[in-house]
Amino acid sequence: MNADQLTQLDKEYVWHPYSPLRQFQKILPVVQAKGAIIYTSEHREIIDAISSWWTNLHGHAHPYIATKLYEQALKLEHVIFAGFTHEPAVELATRIITLSGLNHRKVFYSDNGSTAIEVAIKMAIQYWHNQGTPKKTILALEDGYHGDTFGAMSVSARGLFTNPFNDLLFDVKYLPLPDGTNRSIQAFHKICESITDPAAFIYEPLIQGTAGMVMYDATEMNQLLNHIKQKEIILIADEVFTGFYRTGTFLASNQLTTTPDIICLSKGLTAGFMPLGLTTCNDRIAGAFEQEDRSKSFFHGHSYTGNPLSCAVANASLDLLERKETLDLIHQLQLSHQTFTESLQSFSRAHKPRYCGTVAAVDFRPDHEKHDYISNWRDILYEFFITRGVLLRPLGTTIYTVPPYGIEHHQMNRIYEVIYEWFEYNQSRL
Ligand SMILES: Cc1ncc(COP(=O)(O)O)c(C=O)c1O
């Protein structure tokens, strides 16, 4: 199939995520990807500055992971995970529990970030049900994003993504983002006066990704989590984006003082190779399901739960993450992001240049425009960067980069360069 045929058939039959069905944007057929580079059929080379939706940790088509995947496929590609088990799933569960350092007890597998969240919400609600003290109200942070399934949408912010479904979503109480003024703690106590059944609190630790790489006050978050924990409300840390050193530590929760009861992981879990999500929980949660009464079991599962290929690549990714070279690369990225974001401060339209671990972001502040996911600016920015050979997918007017850890120095510099170019082109220096 040549490139024209492919584009034509794609236009006719394929429905792409988060894209208008009437295609406004040119779709690029990809023939290969290696390291941080995506190769298109038009012989273009594009630097993947966002790790293909924040999944890719070690670069595309990493030979070590590819080999492990191939070896596993020749041995066991899939087996029903009820009544059976296998080494890749057991090894992965053991390693995740150890590496996360949270003293958790159990790992439940699913398919992606949204399903990892669904599992967490259902676990939390059923925990209270199994205890004989049903509680149903979920608390969440304002502007959060936790996925596209119904439970995940319910605990996310209401807006453009959820509007057609709002009437069908369950009620959630939202807390403002910790900003150093204690307003989140005050709001929490106020909410507690109005509800009798607080079940769980879900949050993206340290960075709210989809909200626009919002990095918030960790000190107040620690206090807030502490207040919430004191009321025995279950803490669910959504580490789907922040896991696997994105914020500089294995989990973002490792930088907070209060330990969550449940965590959700996906995206970087398989380093972009295979779909997989998982939810871990501590003794407290697991204990409520370990009962003689079989009706208290967790009746949840997916056909591909614990898929051996997905687990094998996740283990291979962990092998790479445990290497000193990888940790050095992560450290280097943090340092270069720091220098880069500091240097952006000289541009008047570069609002809040910031970084956390391997995530760097800046808001473009156009004249008289409010931040809006589908504002024209978003498309203009996307086009500006892609025509210069860099895949940056702004969130509204927030420009950010989350590169694969193995990105080469000159490739990272090229990403910084095009962002500078945007600001130089569009705005006067202070
Ligand atoms: C914090 C967070 N949670 C959950 C999800 C949903 O993950 P998925 O797209 O794999 O369903 C995302 C996706 O961006 C996310 O950023």
322-378 pLDDT tens trace: 999 999 999 999 999 999 999 999 998 999 999 999 999 999 988 655 555 556 899
| Residue 371: predicted pLDDT | 54
Number of H helices, E strands in the chain: 13, 16
Lowest mean pLDDT among 19-33, 188-202, 213-227: 19-33
Read off the pLDDT of residues 230-245 as tens digits, 9 standing for 90 and up. 999 999 999 999 999 9
Structural domains for the chain: 3-61+324-426 (3.90.1150.10), 65-321 (3.40.640.10)
| Residue 373: predicted pLDDT | 58
Looking at the predicted structure, is the pLDDT value of residue 223 above 90? yes
| Residue 430: predicted pLDDT | 44
Segment 417-429 mean pLDDT: 85
Read off the pLDDT of residues 240-276 as tens digits, 9 standing for 90 and up. 999 999 999 999 999 999 999 999 999 999 999 999 9
For residue 266, give the ligand 1 atom closest to its CA.
10
Say which DSSP state 258 is in: S
Segment 131-145 mean pLDDT: 97
E strands in 95-171: 106-110, 137-141
Task: Answer yes or no: are the C-beta atoms of 217 and 183 closer than 8 Å.
Answer: no
What is the sign of the dihedral through the CA atoms of 394, 147, 268 and 212? positive
| Residue 425: predicted pLDDT | 84
Bridge partners of 277, per DSSP, are 110
Read off the pLDDT of residues 380-398 as tens digits, 9 standing for 90 and up. 999 999 999 999 999 999 9
SS3 of residue 196 by DSSP:
coil
Looking at the predicted structure, is the pLDDT value of residue 1 above 90? no
| Residue 3: predicted pLDDT | 87
Q: Which of 238, 247, 266, 310 to mutate to test the pocket of ligand 1 (most atoms within 8 A of CB)?
A: 266
pLDDT band at 22 (very low <50, low <70, confident <90, very high): confident
Beta strands 106-110 and 277-281, pairing class = antiparallel
For residue 267, give the ligand 1 atom closest to its CA.
10
φ and ψ of 48, to 5 deg: -85, 90
| 17 half-sphere exposure, CB direction, 13 A CA radius | 4
**Residue 208 beta carbon below 6 angstroms from any ligand 1 atom:** no
Beta strands 137-141 and 45-48, pairing class = unpaired
Residue 118 tokens read as 């669904």
| 282 half-sphere exposure, CB direction, 13 A CA radius | 13
**Residue 156 beta carbon below 6 angstroms from any ligand 1 atom:** no
Percent of the chain's residues with pLDDT above 90: 92
* 145 CA → ligand 1 middle, Å: 7
Q: Which of 240, 264, 274, 279 to mutate to test the pocket of ligand 1 (most atoms within 8 A of CB)?
A: 240
Q: Which of 51, 52, 141, 145 to mutate to test the pocket of ligand 1 (most atoms within 8 A of CB)?
A: 145
pTM listed for this prediction:
0.97
* Cβ neighbours of 321 (radius 10 Å): 20
| Residue 17: predicted pLDDT | 94
For residue 275, give the ligand 1 atom closest to its CA.
10
Task: Answer yes or no: are the C-beta atoms of 183 and 246 closer than 8 Å.
Answer: no
Please, which residues have CB within 8 angstroms of residue 14's CB and are 6 or more apart in sequence? Answer: none
For residue 210, give the ligand 1 atom closest to its CA.
16
**Residue 203 beta carbon below 6 angstroms from any ligand 1 atom:** no
* Average pLDDT value over all residues in the chain: 95
Distance of alpha carbon 227 from alpha carbon 223, whole angstroms: 6
Distance of alpha carbon 153 from alpha carbon 117, whole angstroms: 10
Residue nearest atom 3 of ligand 1, based on CA coordinates: 146
| Residue 196: predicted pLDDT | 94
Residue nearest atom 8 of ligand 1, based on CA coordinates: 113
C-alpha distances (whole Å) from 418 to each of 34, 309, 382, 394 are 21, 37, 11, 13
Maximal C-alpha separation, the chain = 70
Segment 292-302 mean pLDDT: 95
Task: Answer yes or no: are the C-beta atoms of 221 and 229 closer than 8 Å.
Answer: no
**Residue 272 beta carbon below 6 angstroms from any ligand 1 atom:** no
Instruction: Determine whether 22 is exposed, middle or buried from the number of CB atoms within 10 Å of its CB (0-12, 13-18, 19+).
Output: exposed
Distance of alpha carbon 27 from alpha carbon 404, whole angstroms: 23
Within 48-155, where are the H helices? 51-54, 63-75, 87-100, 113-131, 150-155
